[in-house]
Structures are given as structure tokens and as C-alpha cells.
Structure 1
């Protein structure tokens, strides 16, 4: 516990790392080199740097892909210490339940009487899972900002992590389409439709595929 307190003091006070509350959706918050330079980031990027420092001083801190807010965990003899990467504070069972509650789908008949099981949400996150979550954060930002070139590069990385994933193929196809690459877009969309012929967006994508075929013929 003493070593954890010293690490918190070093990371948050001496080095000055903190959440970028003034520009939370800046893409730079997800690029580690930018976070290291600015000392500002989001929970998951701060956690990655924090966990690396922790490993160097013998603290086996692991990431937790908690809904809505990435967390960290240190297991000690008395139990688990769950840590908020934004400030290093330890979160109580009650605080974790309050954070989790908005993401739980409960029926009106269940109300709030049903006991929340936190354990499934506090498992150690695999490095691939952490990287995937970091990339998906950027994906949302690039999609909303219609930044198609960086989105395409990001989709390529997501498909390295999850080869032939239909959702990622579909979204890469969308990026290709916006960048006027009809054949590449068509290939990804058709792959998606092959895997998910009855998806909710299947009809719209079939219509888009017809337009992409026409665009491909014009190029030929």
C-alpha cells in the first residue's frame, strides 16, 4: 500500500499527469506519445502509462475494461484495490456499483433490489482488449468528425486485432467509400453481407453495394 501511495504521488503530483477535462475528445488523448508530452489524457491512456511505471517498481497492476470508464486493479492479501486512473483514488464497492448501474439493463419489475455482481466487470483486461478499446475510442472520434483517412488507418489496425470481424469490415468499407475507393469498399461490404445477411442494415448496404458496382464500372 505504501508503494502504491508513493507511485500515486510521483505520477499525479510530481509528473503532473491528469485527465484532459478541457478537451476530453481530442484524439491526442489516445496517443501515448502525446499524453506523455502533455501529461493529459483519458482514463485508458493514463492507465497504460501508470501500469508500465507500476511494473517497473514491482506493483502488478492490471487494467479493467469497466463500462464507461477504464479502471485499474491491484490485488493484495486483503483483496482487490480498484483504482481510478484519472486521479489514483481507490474506489469502494458502493462507488463501483453506482458507476456500473447506468450500464445495466434491468426490467422495471427487478427495480434496484437485485444485487449487483461486480466480479464479472473487474476481470483483468488482456492487452489486446486494452488496445482494442483504445482504438475504438479513436474510431468514435474520427467517425463523428468525418476524418476518413485516419479512420481507414485505424480500421486496418482493428482488423489486425480482429481479423475478418464483420463489423470492422463494414466500417472499413464505409471509410473506403468516403475516400472514393469503390472496389475496396464493395469488397468489405459484400464480405459483411455474406457473414450477416439478415443484419438490420443489410438492405441499406445492399443498395450501397449496387451504387459501388456502378462506380467500379465507371473506373474500368
Structure 2
């Protein structure tokens, strides 16, 4: 079965449509911009020839000629997850730039795939039974030694990457990771209405998911809906008592109940 390289891009489109306040007015602009990039890439790179050379050309075009980049000063901001912003400013974060590269790779029939690396999304190119890893932050190739250092930075000295952790990402896992990142960004910026809409859309598919309900509870707490927030957080604690966040939420539950009592 063919790997669906545009899955992350599609999820970002859904994220925009669910959380935007402009009723999807920028969707036409998004389609125009990504379509223009595809046409330019096909003109420069073509759809035939050595894939190693063509992947290198794509990276040069994307990061060099077009100037796509990550802004470390605004790395975690939610705007980096909105396609219109990323396509217009050429600024984003690894997951959004990676999504665009994967979209272009699919359009050019290039063997580029996502990897759910612990620190951030990375890409893997598969050509002639060889694999090379690429950092969507800047388009640079990553050696196994550098990946090992990043892995140890996340899990401690001596921790070793398993081969499975460098395989193509499972699409559902990839999308769930994006969703959590997106929720966290909205919650951190107190964009509560947008966060609530996004979580509500996810709960339509998994209405009893304790983690989605927990996140809804956190948003409701920020919105001042203390009783509803307490019910959601209590549900999570009851369903996932061994989760580390359950211990933290127990204290927060007491505060929410006190707030509700003061108001009534």
C-alpha cells in the first residue's frame, strides 16, 4: 500500500478550518500558494531522473531559493501551524515545514517520508536501498551519530535509538502527535475558543478518550467553567490513575471545586 505523504498537510488544513475565525476564507489562498510551489518545483526539478539528485534539488529550492526557515524566537507559537501563515511568511516549525516538503515530495513522486523522532519530526529519504535523514528545521542531512546525540539529550546518556524509532511514522501516531502539539499551543496562548472547538472535533471520533477529555477540562478551567472542568479532570483521574499528570490534576481539582463553591 502506498504511503500517504500528504496526511500531515491534510491535518493542518483541518486544524485551520476547525479553529479559524474567518470561516475558511483563506482556504483558496492556501490552495493557490501550495499549487504555485508545486508548479515551480516541477519546472525546476521535473519528475524524472536520479531521486538523490532530485531530493537535493528540492531541499535547495525550498530552503535556499524560497527561504523557508524556522524562527527560534517564535518556535512554539500556534501561528506556525497555520498553513496560510507558513506559506505566506515562509516561516514555521519542523512539523509544518516537514508537512510542506512531504506534500511537494508526493507531487514530485519522491521517496521522502516522516519519522516520529522524540525531539521533533524528521524526514527520511529512501533511495536505492539506502536511507538518509533530513532535518526539516533547515534541510540539512543528519548523521546517525548526530541523531544518537539528540536521542541521548531527550532520554539520557547511554540511551540508544532502536531501528524501529527511525522507520516511517505510523500515520495515526503522526497525526495524534500533531494534534497534541496544536492543542498545547492553543492552550498555552489562551486561545480557548479555538482549543475547545478543536478538542470537540476530535472527541466526535473518540468520545470517551480520557486524554482528549483531560485537555477539554484544562480549557474549560481557563474559560472559568469550573464545574464542567472538574468533571472532565475527575474522569481522567479515574480512568488513568497511574498517569503522572493524574497526581498533578488531583490538586487542581480541589482548587476548581473551591472556585465553584465561591461562585455559588
TM class, shorter-length = 0.7 to 0.9
Q: Which residue of 2 aligns with 1:176?
A: 220
Residue 2 (structure 1) aligned to one of 38, 47, 53 = 53
Deviation digits for residues 55-105 of structure 1 (CA, Å, limit 9, x no counterpart): 111113111111112100122224211111122222111111111111124
Equivalent residues of 2:192, 2:223 under 8 A apart: yes
Q: Which residue of 2 aligns with 1:146?
A: 190
Q: Which residue of 2 aligns with 1:14?
A: 65
**Structure 1 position 58 matched with structure 2 position 102:** no
Name structure 2 gaps, 5 residues minimum: 1-51
Residue 164 (structure 1) aligned to one of 194, 203, 208 = 208
Equivalent residues of 2:151, 2:161 under 8 A apart: no
Equivalent residues of 2:80, 2:96 under 8 A apart: yes
1:117–1:66 distance in 2 versus 1, CA, 3 Å: closer
**Structure 1 position 44 matched with structure 2 position 91:** no
1:196–1:211 distance in 2 versus 1, CA, 3 Å: farther
Q: Which residue of 1 aligns with 2:16?
A: none
Whose helix fraction is larger, Structure 1's or Structure 2's? 2
SS in structure 1 of the partner of residue 208 of structure 2: coil
Query: Which stretches of structure 1, 4 residues or longer, exceed 6 Å deviation after superposition?
Result: none
Say which structure, 1 or 2, has more relative contact order (CA 8 Å, 6+ apart).
2
Q: TM-score, normalised by structure 1?
A: 0.80
Residue 192 (structure 1) aligned to one of 236, 249, 260 = 236
SS in structure 1 of the partner of residue 254 of structure 2: helix
Q: TM-score, normalised by structure 2?
A: 0.68
